[in-house]
């Protein structure tokens, strides 16, 4: 008997760094293939999949702003970061469609030659027709992260959960890659994430999810098959709700 998914429509949040794999920057095709293969498993379960991408593997806006006179204006840097997410979205779409996954890239900044403009009703229609949707360019506004974009898009398309892919297997009291005794949480409340300053998602995104009672599942992307395990309700990573 085929197990039934506990989430029928998800938003998968991928950082730009996740796409670079073991490279110092850019895009690792092996990572794109792994992600696409896992998304195909979800589509075989008839789960609607939307994806929100970061752009830190190409350009991270906040690292190019600061107090020096020659530093870049925050708005300019953020717009450049948004364009980096478009590059990532096109790269992922290319691999997904080679695996016979119909995919649409929808952008918050209109670039008609390469991607559809984001229109909420059209995005929902794509999902209803069995297409995967990749949301790029964040919210289209500076000063908002792609975490906030993921929360916003999840509300708009009536997703059941946000799946936040990371390099570690959940949320810890400190960075487990640097602190050996860091404690892992299996379940957290939104308010605990905000009070303890845990780096799950930024405060705006967590607050949006809290106000709309949208679960966030934080898990390790590097272990192939984890996305499917989360969707089937297995105890993987950390659940924030």
100 domain-assigned: yes
Report the run of H or E that residue 194 belongs to, with start and end.
helix 190-196
Residue 199's pLDDT is: 82
Read off the pLDDT of residues 98-117 as tens digits, 9 standing for 90 and up: 999 999 999 999 999 999 99
3 domain-assigned: no
What CATH code is carried by the domain that includes residue 140? 3.40.1160.10
115 domain-assigned: yes
Q: What residues make up the domain containing 169? A: 9-240
What integer best gives the mean pLDDT of the chain?
A: 93
What does the longest C-alpha to C-alpha distance in the chain come to? 64
1 domain-assigned: no
Q: Is the pLDDT confidence value at 224 over 60? A: yes
Read off the pLDDT of residues 2-15 as tens digits, 9 standing for 90 and up: 789 999 999 999 99
Half-sphere exposure of 152 (CA within 13 A, CB side): 18
- Structurally, the chain folds into a number of domains equal to 1
CB atoms within 10 A of CB 181: 8
235 domain-assigned: yes
DSSP string, 145-190: -HHHHHHHHHHHTT-SEEEEEESSSSEESS-TTT-TTPPEESEE-H
Tell me if 205 sits within 8 A of 217, measured CB to CB. no
E strands, 58-125, in order: 103-107, 116-117
Q: Is the pLDDT confidence value at 225 over 60? A: yes
2 domain-assigned: no
Q: What is the pTM of this model?
A: 0.93
Using 50, 70 and 90 to split pLDDT, how confident is the model at 64?
Answer: low
110 domain-assigned: yes
Residue 156's pLDDT is: 98
194 domain-assigned: yes
Using 50, 70 and 90 to split pLDDT, how confident is the model at 28?
Answer: very high
Using 50, 70 and 90 to split pLDDT, how confident is the model at 208?
Answer: very high
Mean pLDDT of 160-189: 90
Nearest one of 185, 133, 188 to 156, comparing CA atoms: 133
């Amino acid at each position: 008997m085929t197990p039934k998914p506990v989430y029928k429509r998800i938003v998968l949040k991928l950082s730009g760094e996740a796409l670079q794999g073991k490279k110092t920057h850019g895009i690792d095709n092996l990572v794109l293939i792994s992600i696409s293969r896992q998304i195909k498993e979800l589509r075989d379960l008839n789960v609607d999949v939307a994806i929100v991408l970061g752009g830190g593997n190409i350009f991270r806006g906040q690292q190019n702003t600061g107090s020096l006179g020659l530093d870049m204006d925050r708005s300019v840097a953020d717009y450049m970061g948004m364009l980096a997410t478009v590059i990532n979205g096109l790269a992922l779409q290319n691999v997904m469609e080679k695996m016979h996954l119909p995919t649409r890239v929808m952008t918050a900044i209109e670039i008609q030659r390469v991607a559809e403009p984001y229109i909420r009703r059209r995005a929902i229609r794509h999902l209803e027709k069995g297409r995967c949707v990749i949301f790029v360019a964040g919210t289209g506004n500076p000063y908002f992260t792609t975490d906030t974009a993921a929360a916003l898009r999840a509300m708009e398309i009536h997703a059941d959960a946000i799946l936040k892919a990371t390099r570690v297997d959940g949320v810890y009291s400190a960075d487990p890659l640097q602190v050996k005794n860091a404690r892992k949480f299996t379940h957290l409340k939104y308010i605990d994430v905000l009070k303890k300053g845990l780096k799950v998602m930024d405060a705006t995104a967590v607050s949006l999810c809290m106000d709309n009672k949208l679960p966030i599942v934080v898990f390790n992307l590097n272990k192939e098959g984890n996305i499917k395990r989360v969707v089937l309700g297995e105890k993987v990573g950390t659940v924030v709700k």
